[in-house]
Structure 1
Protein backbone atom coordinates (compact mmCIF):
# COMPACT_ATOMS: atom_id res chain seq x y z
CA UNK A 1 0.00 0.00 0.00
CA UNK A 2 1.42 3.40 -0.99
CA UNK A 3 2.18 6.02 1.65
CA UNK A 4 -0.43 8.74 2.11
CA UNK A 5 0.95 12.28 2.20
CA UNK A 6 -0.66 15.37 3.74
CA UNK A 7 -2.25 17.80 1.29
CA UNK A 8 -1.63 21.53 0.99
CA UNK A 9 -3.50 24.51 -0.50
CA UNK A 10 -3.03 26.14 -3.89
CA UNK A 11 -3.13 29.82 -2.96
CA UNK A 12 -3.53 32.32 -0.13
CA UNK A 13 -7.03 32.66 1.32
CA UNK A 14 -8.34 35.45 3.54
CA UNK A 15 -11.61 35.32 5.44
CA UNK A 16 -13.20 37.48 8.15
CA UNK A 17 -15.83 36.74 10.77
CA UNK A 18 -17.23 38.86 13.63
CA UNK A 19 -17.97 37.25 17.00
CA UNK A 20 -19.38 39.34 19.87
CA UNK A 21 -18.00 42.56 18.31
CA UNK A 22 -14.47 41.16 17.86
CA UNK A 23 -13.20 40.91 14.27
CA UNK A 24 -11.25 37.77 13.37
CA UNK A 25 -9.39 38.04 10.06
CA UNK A 26 -7.83 34.75 8.97
CA UNK A 27 -5.02 34.57 6.43
CA UNK A 28 -3.97 31.10 5.30
CA UNK A 29 -0.84 30.90 3.14
CA UNK A 30 0.86 27.96 1.36
CA UNK A 31 4.57 27.90 2.25
CA UNK A 32 7.60 25.81 1.34
CA UNK A 33 9.34 25.68 4.74
CA UNK A 34 9.39 27.26 8.24
CA UNK A 35 11.38 30.28 7.01
CA UNK A 36 8.73 31.02 4.38
CA UNK A 37 6.07 30.62 7.06
CA UNK A 38 7.86 33.13 9.29
CA UNK A 39 8.03 35.57 6.39
CA UNK A 40 4.31 35.16 5.72
CA UNK A 41 3.57 35.81 9.40
CA UNK A 42 5.75 38.93 9.37
CA UNK A 43 3.89 40.26 6.33
CA UNK A 44 0.50 39.73 8.00
CA UNK A 45 1.69 41.38 11.22
CA UNK A 46 2.91 44.38 9.21
CA UNK A 47 -0.39 44.66 7.35
CA UNK A 48 -2.47 44.37 10.53
CA UNK A 49 -0.04 46.26 12.77
CA UNK A 50 -2.86 47.88 14.77
CA UNK A 51 -4.52 44.60 15.81
CA UNK A 52 -4.33 43.39 19.40
CA UNK A 53 -3.42 39.80 18.44
CA UNK A 54 -1.94 37.98 15.43
CA UNK A 55 -2.14 34.33 16.48
CA UNK A 56 -0.41 31.71 14.35
CA UNK A 57 -0.22 28.02 13.52
CA UNK A 58 1.93 26.30 10.93
CA UNK A 59 2.62 22.78 9.68
CA UNK A 60 5.51 22.10 7.29
CA UNK A 61 7.43 19.18 5.80
CA UNK A 62 6.41 16.56 3.25
CA UNK A 63 5.06 14.41 6.08
CA UNK A 64 3.73 17.35 8.11
CA UNK A 65 6.22 16.55 10.87
CA UNK A 66 7.13 20.15 11.76
CA UNK A 67 4.59 22.30 13.60
CA UNK A 68 4.50 25.50 15.65
CA UNK A 69 1.83 27.77 17.08
CA UNK A 70 1.55 31.01 19.04
CA UNK A 71 -1.23 32.52 21.16
CA UNK A 72 0.30 36.02 20.73
CA UNK A 73 -1.02 37.34 24.03
CA UNK A 74 -4.28 35.41 24.20
CA UNK A 75 -4.69 33.11 27.24
CA UNK A 76 -2.45 30.06 26.87
CA UNK A 77 -3.95 27.30 24.73
CA UNK A 78 -6.94 29.30 23.48
CA UNK A 79 -5.69 30.32 20.02
CA UNK A 80 -2.56 28.79 18.48
CA UNK A 81 -3.17 25.19 19.53
CA UNK A 82 -6.85 25.13 18.43
CA UNK A 83 -5.76 26.64 15.09
CA UNK A 84 -3.08 23.98 14.75
CA UNK A 85 -5.59 21.24 15.53
CA UNK A 86 -7.72 22.41 12.59
CA UNK A 87 -4.73 22.14 10.24
CA UNK A 88 -4.02 18.67 11.61
CA UNK A 89 -7.65 17.51 11.24
CA UNK A 90 -7.63 18.70 7.63
CA UNK A 91 -4.41 16.69 7.10
CA UNK A 92 -2.56 19.70 5.69
CA UNK A 93 1.11 20.62 5.50
CA UNK A 94 3.26 23.44 4.11
CA UNK A 95 0.66 25.91 5.29
CA UNK A 96 0.55 28.72 7.84
CA UNK A 97 -2.58 30.27 9.35
CA UNK A 98 -2.64 33.70 10.98
CA UNK A 99 -5.78 34.87 12.78
CA UNK A 100 -5.77 38.61 13.41
CA UNK A 101 -8.10 39.74 16.20
CA UNK A 102 -9.44 43.24 16.63
CA UNK A 103 -10.88 43.22 20.14
CA UNK A 104 -14.49 44.39 20.29
CA UNK A 105 -14.62 45.17 24.00
CA UNK A 106 -16.38 41.98 25.11
CA UNK A 107 -14.36 39.10 26.60
CA UNK A 108 -15.20 35.71 25.10
CA UNK A 109 -13.79 33.45 27.82
CA UNK A 110 -11.46 30.51 27.19
CA UNK A 111 -14.08 28.33 25.52
CA UNK A 112 -15.31 31.17 23.36
CA UNK A 113 -11.79 31.96 22.19
CA UNK A 114 -11.09 28.32 21.30
CA UNK A 115 -14.29 28.18 19.24
CA UNK A 116 -13.60 31.55 17.60
CA UNK A 117 -10.07 30.74 16.50
CA UNK A 118 -10.99 27.22 15.38
CA UNK A 119 -13.99 28.44 13.41
CA UNK A 120 -11.96 31.22 11.80
CA UNK A 121 -9.41 28.78 10.38
CA UNK A 122 -12.03 26.18 9.42
CA UNK A 123 -14.11 28.68 7.46
CA UNK A 124 -11.04 30.05 5.69
CA UNK A 125 -9.96 26.53 4.67
CA UNK A 126 -13.46 25.83 3.36
CA UNK A 127 -12.71 28.49 0.76
CA UNK A 128 -9.28 27.12 -0.22
CA UNK A 129 -8.41 24.92 -3.17
CA UNK A 130 -6.92 21.70 -1.84
CA UNK A 131 -3.83 20.24 -3.48
CA UNK A 132 -3.31 16.50 -3.04
CA UNK A 133 0.26 15.22 -2.77
CA UNK A 134 1.23 11.82 -4.06
CA UNK A 135 4.34 9.87 -4.89
CA UNK A 136 4.10 9.64 -8.68
CA UNK A 137 6.50 8.37 -11.34
CA UNK A 138 7.55 10.32 -14.43
CA UNK A 139 6.67 8.72 -17.75
CA UNK A 140 7.62 10.46 -21.00
CA UNK A 141 6.66 9.58 -24.54
CA UNK A 142 7.80 11.16 -27.82
CA UNK A 143 5.14 11.54 -30.50
CA UNK A 144 5.41 12.72 -34.08
CA UNK A 145 3.88 16.17 -34.53
CA UNK A 146 1.25 14.85 -36.91
CA UNK A 147 -0.09 12.55 -34.17
CA UNK A 148 0.37 14.92 -31.22
CA UNK A 149 -3.20 16.25 -31.15
CA UNK A 150 -4.77 12.81 -31.10
CA UNK A 151 -2.38 11.47 -28.46
CA UNK A 152 -2.90 14.61 -26.35
CA UNK A 153 -6.65 13.93 -26.25
CA UNK A 154 -6.05 10.28 -25.34
CA UNK A 155 -3.65 11.17 -22.50
CA UNK A 156 -5.88 13.90 -21.06
CA UNK A 157 -8.70 11.40 -20.81
CA UNK A 158 -6.37 8.71 -19.43
CA UNK A 159 -4.99 10.78 -16.54
CA UNK A 160 -8.51 11.67 -15.38
CA UNK A 161 -9.30 7.98 -14.87
CA UNK A 162 -6.02 6.81 -13.36
CA UNK A 163 -5.08 9.33 -10.66
CA UNK A 164 -2.31 10.73 -12.84
CA UNK A 165 -1.41 14.23 -14.03
CA UNK A 166 -0.16 15.54 -17.36
CA UNK A 167 2.69 18.06 -17.40
CA UNK A 168 3.20 20.72 -20.05
CA UNK A 169 4.08 19.24 -23.43
CA UNK A 170 7.54 20.03 -24.85
CA UNK A 171 7.90 20.57 -28.58
CA UNK A 172 11.16 19.90 -30.42
CA UNK A 173 11.86 17.43 -33.19
CA UNK A 174 8.94 15.56 -31.64
CA UNK A 175 6.20 16.38 -29.14
CA UNK A 176 7.29 15.07 -25.73
CA UNK A 177 4.46 14.30 -23.33
CA UNK A 178 5.29 13.90 -19.65
CA UNK A 179 2.89 12.22 -17.26
CA UNK A 180 3.15 11.69 -13.51
CA UNK A 181 1.62 8.30 -12.81
CA UNK A 182 0.98 6.10 -9.74
CA UNK A 183 3.45 3.22 -9.99
CA UNK A 184 0.74 0.49 -10.14
CA UNK A 185 -0.85 2.21 -13.17
CA UNK A 186 2.32 2.30 -15.30
CA UNK A 187 1.76 -1.13 -16.95
CA UNK A 188 -1.77 -0.02 -17.87
CA UNK A 189 -0.43 3.18 -19.43
CA UNK A 190 2.16 1.25 -21.44
CA UNK A 191 -0.51 -1.15 -22.70
CA UNK A 192 -2.98 1.63 -23.54
CA UNK A 193 -0.35 3.60 -25.44
CA UNK A 194 0.60 0.49 -27.38
CA UNK A 195 -3.04 -0.12 -28.24
CA UNK A 196 -3.66 3.44 -29.41
CA UNK A 197 -0.52 3.56 -31.54
CA UNK A 198 -0.33 0.02 -32.92
CA UNK A 199 2.77 -0.49 -30.78
CA UNK A 200 4.73 2.46 -32.17
CA UNK A 201 4.87 4.54 -28.96
CA UNK A 202 7.58 3.63 -26.47
CA UNK A 203 7.12 5.38 -23.10
CA UNK A 204 10.19 5.93 -20.92
CA UNK A 205 9.75 5.43 -17.17
CA UNK A 206 11.74 7.89 -15.02
CA UNK A 207 12.08 8.86 -11.38
CA UNK A 208 9.50 9.01 -8.61
CA UNK A 209 8.81 12.23 -6.71
CA UNK A 210 6.13 13.93 -4.60
CA UNK A 211 3.76 15.77 -6.95
CA UNK A 212 1.05 18.33 -6.20
CA UNK A 213 -2.32 17.42 -7.74
CA UNK A 214 -5.26 19.89 -7.42
CA UNK A 215 -8.33 18.04 -6.25
CA UNK A 216 -11.03 20.53 -5.34
CA UNK A 217 -12.15 24.09 -5.83
CA UNK A 218 -14.29 26.14 -3.45
CA UNK A 219 -17.86 26.71 -4.55
CA UNK A 220 -18.74 30.10 -6.00
CA UNK A 221 -19.91 32.56 -3.38
Structure 2
Protein backbone atom coordinates (compact mmCIF):
# COMPACT_ATOMS: atom_id res chain seq x y z
CA UNK A 1 0.00 0.00 0.00
CA UNK A 2 1.35 3.44 -0.92
CA UNK A 3 1.33 6.40 1.43
CA UNK A 4 -1.43 8.03 -0.62
CA UNK A 5 -3.81 5.08 -0.20
CA UNK A 6 -3.60 5.37 3.58
CA UNK A 7 -6.19 8.18 3.70
CA UNK A 8 -9.02 6.07 2.23
CA UNK A 9 -10.80 9.03 0.63
CA UNK A 10 -10.20 11.56 3.41
CA UNK A 11 -7.16 13.20 1.86
CA UNK A 12 -8.95 16.35 0.68
CA UNK A 13 -10.31 17.08 4.17
CA UNK A 14 -6.97 16.18 5.74
CA UNK A 15 -5.24 18.66 3.43
CA UNK A 16 -7.73 21.35 4.47
CA UNK A 17 -7.31 20.61 8.19
CA UNK A 18 -3.51 20.35 8.14
CA UNK A 19 -3.33 23.30 5.74
CA UNK A 20 -5.20 25.45 8.25
CA UNK A 21 -2.75 24.50 10.99
CA UNK A 22 0.20 25.26 8.70
CA UNK A 23 -1.23 28.63 7.63
CA UNK A 24 -1.72 29.63 11.26
CA UNK A 25 1.82 28.59 12.09
CA UNK A 26 3.78 29.86 9.09
CA UNK A 27 1.59 32.33 7.18
CA UNK A 28 1.06 32.68 3.47
CA UNK A 29 4.67 33.13 2.34
CA UNK A 30 5.98 29.95 3.95
CA UNK A 31 2.91 27.87 3.11
CA UNK A 32 3.25 25.22 0.39
CA UNK A 33 1.42 22.15 -0.88
CA UNK A 34 4.63 20.20 -0.33
CA UNK A 35 4.62 21.05 3.39
CA UNK A 36 0.93 20.19 3.73
CA UNK A 37 1.55 16.86 1.98
CA UNK A 38 4.34 16.09 4.46
CA UNK A 39 2.02 16.89 7.38
CA UNK A 40 -0.57 14.51 5.91
CA UNK A 41 2.05 11.79 5.33
CA UNK A 42 1.47 11.61 1.57
CA UNK A 43 3.63 12.15 -1.49
CA UNK A 44 4.38 15.68 -2.67
CA UNK A 45 2.20 15.17 -5.73
CA UNK A 46 -0.88 13.91 -3.84
CA UNK A 47 -2.38 17.36 -3.05
CA UNK A 48 -2.51 18.17 -6.77
CA UNK A 49 -5.27 15.56 -7.16
CA UNK A 50 -7.50 17.97 -5.22
CA UNK A 51 -5.97 21.45 -5.56
CA UNK A 52 -4.17 22.99 -8.53
CA UNK A 53 -1.98 25.22 -6.34
CA UNK A 54 -1.58 26.62 -2.84
CA UNK A 55 -3.96 29.52 -3.50
CA UNK A 56 -6.77 27.15 -4.37
CA UNK A 57 -6.18 25.21 -1.12
CA UNK A 58 -6.06 28.46 0.88
CA UNK A 59 -9.30 29.61 -0.75
CA UNK A 60 -10.93 26.30 0.18
CA UNK A 61 -9.62 26.57 3.75
CA UNK A 62 -11.01 30.11 4.02
CA UNK A 63 -14.46 29.08 2.78
CA UNK A 64 -14.48 26.04 5.06
CA UNK A 65 -13.64 28.10 8.15
CA UNK A 66 -16.06 30.95 7.43
CA UNK A 67 -18.95 28.71 6.37
CA UNK A 68 -18.54 26.48 9.43
CA UNK A 69 -18.75 29.48 11.74
CA UNK A 70 -21.66 31.00 9.79
CA UNK A 71 -23.56 27.71 9.92
CA UNK A 72 -23.00 27.54 13.66
CA UNK A 73 -24.40 31.05 14.21
CA UNK A 74 -27.29 30.54 11.77
CA UNK A 75 -28.37 27.47 13.75
CA UNK A 76 -29.15 29.84 16.61
CA UNK A 77 -31.05 32.26 14.36
CA UNK A 78 -33.16 29.37 13.07
CA UNK A 79 -33.73 27.87 16.52
CA UNK A 80 -34.63 30.94 18.60
CA UNK A 81 -37.07 33.64 17.52
CA UNK A 82 -37.25 35.59 20.81
CA UNK A 83 -34.68 38.42 20.36
CA UNK A 84 -33.20 38.26 23.88
CA UNK A 85 -32.93 34.48 23.92
CA UNK A 86 -31.45 34.52 20.43
CA UNK A 87 -28.65 36.99 21.22
CA UNK A 88 -27.78 35.23 24.48
CA UNK A 89 -27.68 31.84 22.78
CA UNK A 90 -25.69 33.33 19.90
CA UNK A 91 -23.13 34.72 22.32
CA UNK A 92 -22.79 31.31 23.91
CA UNK A 93 -22.58 29.59 20.50
CA UNK A 94 -19.95 32.10 19.34
CA UNK A 95 -17.75 31.36 22.33
CA UNK A 96 -18.36 27.60 22.23
CA UNK A 97 -17.39 27.49 18.55
CA UNK A 98 -14.15 29.38 19.17
CA UNK A 99 -13.21 27.26 22.18
CA UNK A 100 -13.82 24.04 20.22
CA UNK A 101 -12.05 25.37 17.11
CA UNK A 102 -9.05 27.46 18.21
CA UNK A 103 -7.42 27.07 14.77
CA UNK A 104 -10.50 28.73 13.24
CA UNK A 105 -10.31 31.55 15.78
CA UNK A 106 -6.66 32.19 15.00
CA UNK A 107 -7.26 32.10 11.25
CA UNK A 108 -10.29 34.42 11.28
CA UNK A 109 -9.10 36.97 13.80
CA UNK A 110 -5.37 36.65 14.47
CA UNK A 111 -3.86 36.18 11.03
CA UNK A 112 -3.30 37.98 7.75
CA UNK A 113 -6.50 36.37 6.47
CA UNK A 114 -8.88 38.22 8.77
CA UNK A 115 -11.42 40.59 7.27
CA UNK A 116 -11.27 44.02 8.85
CA UNK A 117 -14.59 45.60 9.72
CA UNK A 118 -14.49 49.38 9.61
CA UNK A 119 -16.68 51.55 11.82
CA UNK A 120 -17.28 54.90 10.15
CA UNK A 121 -20.00 57.44 10.91
CA UNK A 122 -21.90 54.91 13.03
CA UNK A 123 -21.93 52.32 10.25
CA UNK A 124 -20.21 48.97 9.93
CA UNK A 125 -18.37 48.91 6.62
CA UNK A 126 -17.05 45.73 5.04
CA UNK A 127 -19.27 43.58 7.30
CA UNK A 128 -21.56 42.19 4.62
CA UNK A 129 -21.56 38.43 4.23
CA UNK A 130 -19.36 37.93 7.30
CA UNK A 131 -19.89 35.98 10.49
CA UNK A 132 -20.00 39.30 12.32
CA UNK A 133 -22.94 40.33 10.13
CA UNK A 134 -25.02 37.46 11.54
CA UNK A 135 -24.16 38.50 15.10
CA UNK A 136 -24.83 42.17 14.26
CA UNK A 137 -28.30 41.46 12.83
CA UNK A 138 -29.27 39.44 15.88
CA UNK A 139 -28.06 42.27 18.14
CA UNK A 140 -30.03 44.85 16.12
CA UNK A 141 -33.18 42.75 16.50
CA UNK A 142 -32.61 42.66 20.25
CA UNK A 143 -32.04 46.41 20.52
CA UNK A 144 -35.15 47.14 18.43
CA UNK A 145 -37.09 44.80 20.71
CA UNK A 146 -36.09 46.67 23.88
CA UNK A 147 -35.99 50.23 22.47
CA UNK A 148 -37.88 50.81 19.25
CA UNK A 149 -37.22 54.59 19.34
CA UNK A 150 -33.44 54.26 18.96
CA UNK A 151 -32.19 54.19 15.36
CA UNK A 152 -28.44 53.59 15.70
CA UNK A 153 -27.06 50.69 17.69
CA UNK A 154 -23.41 50.72 16.55
CA UNK A 155 -21.86 51.51 19.94
CA UNK A 156 -23.98 48.94 21.76
CA UNK A 157 -23.23 46.26 19.17
CA UNK A 158 -19.49 46.96 19.58
CA UNK A 159 -19.81 46.63 23.36
CA UNK A 160 -21.72 43.37 23.04
CA UNK A 161 -19.35 41.96 20.41
CA UNK A 162 -16.33 42.96 22.50
CA UNK A 163 -17.75 41.13 25.50
CA UNK A 164 -18.47 37.93 23.57
CA UNK A 165 -15.34 38.00 21.43
CA UNK A 166 -13.12 38.93 24.35
CA UNK A 167 -14.44 36.03 26.40
CA UNK A 168 -13.95 33.70 23.42
CA UNK A 169 -10.30 34.77 23.09
CA UNK A 170 -9.58 34.50 26.79
CA UNK A 171 -11.13 31.06 27.16
CA UNK A 172 -9.90 29.59 23.85
CA UNK A 173 -6.33 30.79 24.46
CA UNK A 174 -6.50 29.56 28.06
CA UNK A 175 -5.67 33.06 29.32
CA UNK A 176 -8.20 32.49 32.08
CA UNK A 177 -9.19 29.33 33.89
CA UNK A 178 -12.75 29.33 35.12
CA UNK A 179 -13.95 27.50 38.20
CA UNK A 180 -17.37 26.96 36.61
CA UNK A 181 -18.64 25.90 33.21
CA UNK A 182 -17.87 28.78 30.85
CA UNK A 183 -21.24 28.55 29.07
CA UNK A 184 -23.04 28.92 32.39
CA UNK A 185 -20.91 31.97 33.17
CA UNK A 186 -21.56 33.49 29.73
CA UNK A 187 -25.29 32.90 30.07
CA UNK A 188 -25.29 34.66 33.45
CA UNK A 189 -23.04 37.51 32.21
CA UNK A 190 -25.16 38.20 29.13
CA UNK A 191 -28.44 37.99 31.02
CA UNK A 192 -27.20 40.45 33.62
CA UNK A 193 -25.62 42.90 31.17
CA UNK A 194 -28.15 43.09 28.35
CA UNK A 195 -29.68 46.30 29.68
CA UNK A 196 -28.51 48.84 27.13
Whose radius of gyration is greater, 1 or 2?
Answer: 1
TM-score, with normalisation over the residues of structure 1?
0.25
User: TM-score, normalising length from structure 2?
Assistant: 0.27
Of Structure 1 and Structure 2, which has the larger fraction of its residues in strand?
1
